[in-house]
Structure 1
């Protein structure tokens, strides 16, 4: 089965999601900050909201595949099982005695239960029989022997497709680094992804999928800030150029504040030439233009205004901007509530949180159809529809554009005849 993504906006065919589960129920006031959540979500409601999100995609013809199901199927492969268990055992907190007991415990689990432990974690009291040893005895009974991964919800961050290859990323925050052990195993061992070329792996410099925007078939933007380092951006640029998947990459410095942790928290695409963007930084955002050098090393020039650099690289007159809010207070509120973090299902068709009333109205005034979803609980992890989705297959952009133009002509003819 082929997988291909060359833009943010062409028709979405297949997307990988992770339905929130036991890992979200592990969040408490003692650990939510370290696990990167602003609050304690209502798990049942978060699952309802996520199910509605998935159904909204299916209703538009999108195939939805789930990370947890893929993981359980992957764990049926002995090499994959051994690899992910080894990833857990690398945790230096365990010590030799506890590490040995955890290895035995995990080896005894079937694929479904092992997948649940790897995503939802293993609490101190759940490790049976009592393994003994100093490390275990000195742990608090509410501590985790294996930490939960509540941020798996945001499947965009741990992998990103560039044409027919996948970049399995290198997550910066300690609470998230084990996520890519699971993602990497899925892409390497699951039969669905057999033969997939890999552009990046978790052992490289820090790079996160929320910072990678495919502006067009040959142009990418990579945010550089809290999560993605300049070295990570340069490494991906080199690999993309070697694969022939882009001629220009824009490295975009972003403010190192939690509200702008990724580039897609301030800017996402909703049409082939349009972005929804946080107005407070739209005209201040800069970009370094990176192209292949004659010696094979990426060469960077700039910085210059991002909007100008993007339009030039994309070969268009200008990149249209749709603001999140008409006044500074509304814009700031809706940016915090992921108003910029939209998922395009097709050109001029996107999914957005319903709570961002003004941003959605702005999108519709600009000719963008908005599929509204609830996110009151899902949003507690500071991520929107784009963060929660990893497209693994889209119609190639130029094919999608031709189909859209045919539909427009057909609609015009029907209107004239009526």
Structure 2
């Protein structure tokens, strides 16, 4: 996206008030060299269940992006936005380098030398390094026998860690109304992702004047755990990635900014298979969800509601907490509807478990009753269609190796109100 595109779009409305309003603008990250850093030795640490075939993953992602464009959605790519941000802002360049070059791990001499080099690198090349990382073998200067750190590392070890999970743009930021929330990612392999999204929202011309909904550097919360059930009603999963403290901090922040009146905090199993709330439940229509049947009856929620404010100071408002109660009726009550329609994934336990693992529940709504889903989840997709949902199928054999579906792969920036 060049300067002309920025100028043409700078008046576009950026706001998200639901999961299913017509999707107008979305942030994606096309798989890149960061995935080529994955090996059998590091893929577990970097949160991938396999070694993806990068060229095929790129083809699958291109298909996904084209499906979105074909339905009228503007697709912004994180790599382009990052390069453009660094090109226009010296402060962004310095902050990006500072977050990537860790003097505590590299020692001050090596860290200072590397940071000095990166300050002179062209914007797009620097963006690539910040995303894909750098090994000791790739250092742009000769061996320094006075650096114990350098002498004690293997050449293939990382000086700057790669960020293969950038693919899942849902987690490092999400929008509530006209504001963006910058998250705090729980696991070390993902911690630096928010430093890049933070730069983009802070310095890119497209986001000039955008205000923050929430920022936390202490209590973990990830975008895959946050569902905008309806305007003013937010569900937050608490499990492997989002903590109770993170959910409470988000709720209070949303209440203080009048972005929500009810937050449902939903405990989920702290396992790889159910790392986020959106791995077991996503919205497919204004009154309908697709849900893993194994949790349909057991999923519960604590309901937090905004009460009278005291003094108007941040964090000073009183909240009321009730529950836990069964999630589905609690959600319907908060949304002001009689009942949520539930579409189960799979006709039997084995099929449902297989398709839940392959992100059958992780759909991205392009409009009410229209979703993008991985083609491999045949039974779930058939059940969605039987329930009147239009399913746009995309390949995902390689994209799914990091355990994430179309919703995980996308961060909506603009949706029509319902």
TM-score by length of structure 1 reads 0.94
Give the one of 208, 220, 225 matched to 1:194.
Answer: 208
Judged with a 3 Å threshold, the aligned counterparts in structure 2 of structure 1 residues 202 and 84 are, in CA distance, closer, same or farther, namely farther
Once the two structures are superposed, the pairs formed by residues 126-137 of structure 1 within 5 Å of their partners are 126-132=138-144, 133-137=147-151
- Asked whether the 8 Å contact 1:184–1:201 carries over to 2, the reply is no
Once the two structures are superposed, the pairs formed by residues 202-351 of structure 1 within 5 Å of their partners are 202-294=216-308, 295=310, 296-351=317-372
- Asked whether the 8 Å contact 2:101–2:160 carries over to 1, the reply is no
Separation in structure 2 between the aligned mates of residue 50 and residue 122 of structure 1, nearest angstrom: 24
Judged with a 3 Å threshold, the aligned counterparts in structure 2 of structure 1 residues 395 and 23 are, in CA distance, closer, same or farther, namely same
Give the structure 1 partner of residue 76 of structure 2: 65
Deviations along 1:253-298, one digit per CA (max 9) or x if unpaired, are 0011110000000000000000000000011001000011334033
RMSD: 0.9
Deviation at 1:203, TM superposition (A): 1.6
- Asked whether the 8 Å contact 2:385–2:391 carries over to 1, the reply is yes
Say if 2:380 is the partner of 1:359: yes
| Structure 2 SS opposite 1:251 | strand
Give the structure 2 partner of residue 124 of structure 1: 136
- Asked whether the 8 Å contact 1:36–1:381 carries over to 2, the reply is yes
| Structure 2 SS opposite 1:318 | coil
Say if 2:94 is the partner of 1:82: yes
| Structure 1 SS opposite 2:302 | strand
Separation in structure 2 between the aligned mates of residue 203 and residue 388 of structure 1, nearest angstrom: 23
Give the structure 1 partner of residue 36 of structure 2: 25
Deviations along 1:205-252, one digit per CA (max 9) or x if unpaired, are 110000000000110100011100111111111111111111111000
Say if 2:366 is the partner of 1:368: no
Separation in structure 1 between the aligned mates of residue 405 and residue 23 of structure 2, nearest angstrom: 17
Say if 2:153 is the partner of 1:139: yes
Moved over 6 A (4+): none
Deviation at 1:92, TM superposition (A): 2.3
| Structure 2 SS opposite 1:371 | strand
Separation in structure 1 between the aligned mates of residue 126 and residue 406 of structure 2, nearest angstrom: 28
Separation in structure 1 between the aligned mates of residue 95 and residue 132 of structure 2, nearest angstrom: 18
| Structure 1 SS opposite 2:104 | coil
Deviation at 1:202, TM superposition (A): 4.7
| Structure 2 SS opposite 1:245 | coil
Q: Which runs of 5+ in 1 are unaligned?
A: 398-418
Separation in structure 2 between the aligned mates of residue 131 and residue 256 of structure 1, nearest angstrom: 44
- Asked whether the 8 Å contact 1:72–1:115 carries over to 2, the reply is yes
Give the structure 2 partner of residue 410 of structure 1: none
- Asked whether the 8 Å contact 1:98–1:131 carries over to 2, the reply is no
TM-score by length of structure 2 reads 0.94
Give the structure 2 partner of residue 38 of structure 1: 49
Give the structure 1 partner of residue 8 of structure 2: none
| Structure 2 SS opposite 1:228 | coil
Separation in structure 1 between the aligned mates of residue 103 and residue 113 of structure 2, nearest angstrom: 13
Deviations along 1:383-412, one digit per CA (max 9) or x if unpaired, are 000000000000112xxxxxxxxxxxxxxx
Give the structure 1 partner of residue 116 of structure 2: 104
| Structure 2 SS opposite 1:351 | strand
Give the count of matched residue pairs.
397
Once the two structures are superposed, the pairs formed by residues 158-197 of structure 1 within 5 Å of their partners are 158-197=172-211
Deviations along 1:362-399, one digit per CA (max 9) or x if unpaired, are 000000000000000000000000000000000112xx
